[in-house]
Amino acid sequence: MELSCRTILYFIPLLLLFLSSSTETDEADPSSSSSIISRFQQYLRINTAQPSPQYAESADFILSQAKSIALEAQTLDFVEGKPLILLKWPGSDPSLPTILLNSHTDVVAAEHDKWSHHPFGAHLDQHGNIYARGSQDMKCVGTQYLEAIRKLKASGFQPLRSVYLSFVPDEEIGGHDGAEKFVDSDVFKSLNVGILLDEGLASTSENYRAFYAERGPWWLVIKATGQPGHGSRLYDNTAMENLLKSIESVRRFRASQLDLVKAGLKAEGEVVSVNMVFLKAGSPTPTGFVMNVQPSEAQAGFDIRVPPTADPESLERRISEEWAPASRNMTFEFKQKASVRDTYGKPMLTGTDNSNPWWTLLEEAVRKANGKLGKPEIFPAATDARYYRELGLPAIGFSPMANTPILLHDHNEFLNQDEYLKGIDVYVSIIKAYASHVEHTRKEASRDEL
């Protein structure tokens, strides 16, 4: 059919009006991709960097999102100025153990001049990458939980088990005023948590990474003492000489652990890592250090990360006998020494086989969302999950970011908007599976077998 020029000109204004109204509708629709990304950017633009996080603004944002999807909410102030937000989606059977989705609201500081875009600008570039501190660690996960529940509610899904969301402060500085106080509270005990999901890491491959354990931080300071004196004298067992012997012993151990990783015999999270983080000695002057005096004391600090599969007693013997022996006038102390065993004396490991239905459900849910899980891993650093595993609770670290460079705590941290949106669908599948899970008793299982 042929159209005259006059007819075409008549329809152009109507077409433009339609496109305009369509765009406005899309922007007003809370389920549209643009609205979802916009909410993520809003959260990222709140500067919650340590040491002065804007927790009040962050709490206001989370509570507003909870209200928009009709979640129950409460603010817990274990420490003044550090609110912990707890949200609840009630299940139809309150007697069942619940699901807890944890995320932390604070982020590490950023060197603004080292970033190509402002670290709290949430800039979206032409490739769809969203640049912001917290885009990977871990504001993405917190808002993905909320968006997944928004989708599930819109579909009419009703959870069997209650689902809780915790937005906690201070994870980046140890979690002592956040998750640690939360797990010790009567509020937490009343939740009857059956499974915890917490943060993971980005994956550079197409497979998502999932973590069933993590290494515990041991922050060690070794101190050496010796006879002070003139810089020309050859004293035996000086403070610096003794400390250098220890540093060399630590270096050899570190190299042996790194060799296991480089040879492919162990993953990074399965070995004990040791890194020297400071060296302190000498007598300072306004222009440097005194050069003709041997110091009477010298110190070195080490960040040690211990997997739950290691023998902590053996490692501590190594420290006292080889790295800081009293025979060389040496002492040591731990600035922090996290346990790698739970309150029952067992290694803090969450099962990754059929004995743990939560792991099986996670694998199936990710597969249903067209994703793939890689080999389960031990998280190389520390997260809030350790406080829950210490109670003997199953906890899985998982952040759905595939085909993404690992940029947590790095310059130019970013997450692609397509990966973010896909991660929401993955959480839709996981939350639906977890919240619908019915545990079979031994009697019911026997009847099913018959």
Mean pLDDT of 161-170: 98
Is 251 a member of any domain? Answer: yes
The first and second tokens of residue 276, run together, are 């020297």
Helix 357-368, helix 417-436: angle, nearest 10: 130
pLDDT band at 236; cut points 50, 70, 90:
confident
- Judge whether 450 lies within some domain: no
Q: pLDDT per residue over 76-94, tens digit each?
A: 999 999 999 999 999 999 9
Same domain, 65 and 176: yes
Average pLDDT over residues 422-434: 98
365 shares a domain with 221 = no
Mean pLDDT of 100-120: 98
106 is catalytic: yes
CA 429 – CA 209 distance, rounded (Å): 16
CA 197/CA 207 separation, integer angstroms = 18
Number of H-type helices and E-type strands within the chain: 12, 19
Between 8-17, 261-270, 271-280, the lowest mean confidence (pLDDT) is in 8-17
Q: Which of 308, 337, 366 is the last residue of a domain?
A: 337
- The number of domains in the chain is 2
Q: Is 127 annotated as a binding residue?
A: no
14 within domain boundaries:
no
Examine residue 12 and state whether it is found in any structural domain, yes or no. Answer: no
Q: What is the mean pLDDT of the chain?
A: 92
* 104 is known to lie in a ligand binding site: yes
Q: Which residues contact 324 (CB under 8 A, 6 or more apart)?
A: 222, 223, 224, 246, 330, 331, 332
Between CA 437 and CA 160 the distance in angstroms is 8
Asked whether residue 2 is domain-assigned, the answer is: no
Residues 6+ apart with CB under 8 A from 201: 209, 211, 379, 397, 399, 401, 406, 408
CA separation for the pair 131, 122 (Å, rounded): 5
Single-letter residue type at 248: E
pLDDT range class, residue 235, cuts 50, 70, 90: confident
Q: Domain with 333 in it: what CATH number?
A: 3.30.70.360
Q: Is 137 annotated as a binding residue?
A: yes
Residues 228 and 184 in one domain: no
Identify whether 316 is part of a domain.
Answer: yes
Domain termination site, one of 337, 362, 378: 337
Write down the pTM of the prediction.
0.87
Which of 286, 303, 337 is where one domain is finished?
Answer: 337
118 and 257 housed in the same domain: no
Residues 194 and 244 in one domain: no
Confidence at residue 440, expressed as pLDDT on a 0 to 100 scale: 63
Angle subtended at Cα 107 by Cα 106 and Cα 111, rounded to the nearest 5 degrees: 145
- Integer Cα distance of 76 and 166 in angstroms: 10
Q: Are residues 408 and 272 in the same domain?
A: no
Q: How confident is the model at residue 281 (pLDDT cuts 50, 70, 90)?
A: very high
Q: What Cα–Cα distance (Å) separates residue 403 from each residue in 112, 392, 420? A: 26, 33, 11
Q: By residue range, what is the domain housing residue 351?
A: 30-214+343-442
Write down the pLDDT at residue 12: 42
Portion of the chain with pLDDT greater than 90, in percent:
88
Name the pLDDT band for 231 (thresholds 50, 70, 90). confident
Task: Tell me the DSSP string of 47-107.
Answer: --BTTS--HHHHHHHHHHHHHHTT-EEEEE-SSTT--EEEEEE--S-TTSPEEEEEEE--B
* Residue 223 placed within a domain: yes
pLDDT at 7: 45
Query: Which pLDDT value is given to residue 81?
Result: 97
Same-domain pairing of 186 and 65: yes
Q: Are residues 221 and 261 in the same domain?
A: yes
**What CATH number does residue 432 fall under?**
3.40.630.10
| 247 and 284 co-located in one domain | yes
Q: What are phi and psi of 376, to 5 degrees?
A: -60, 145
Of residues 147, 171, 342, 419, which has the active-site annotation?
171
The predicted structure's pLDDT at residue 93: 98
Give yes or no: 425 in active site: no
Which of 16-30, 120-134, 146-160, 316-330 comes out lowest in average pLDDT?
A: 16-30
Q: What digits encode the pLDDT tens for the residues 323-345?
A: 999 999 999 999 999 999 999 99
330 belongs to a structural domain: yes
Kindly state whether residues 59 and 151 are assigned to the same domain: yes
Q: Give kind and range of the element (H or E) at residue 274.
A: strand 273-281
Do residues 328 and 387 both lie within one domain? Answer: no
At 439 the pLDDT is 81
Q: The tokens 């927790």 sit on which residue?
A: 55
**Which one from 24, 29, 77, 106 is the annotated catalytic residue?**
106
- If pLDDT is split at 50, 70 and 90, which confidence band does 51 have? very high
Q: 309 and 349 share a domain?
A: no
pLDDT, average across residues 69-76? 98
440 is in an annotated binding site: no
Confidence of residue 279 (pLDDT cuts 50, 70, 90): very high
Residue 296's contacts (CB-CB under 8 Å, 6 or more residues apart) are 225, 226, 227, 228, 239
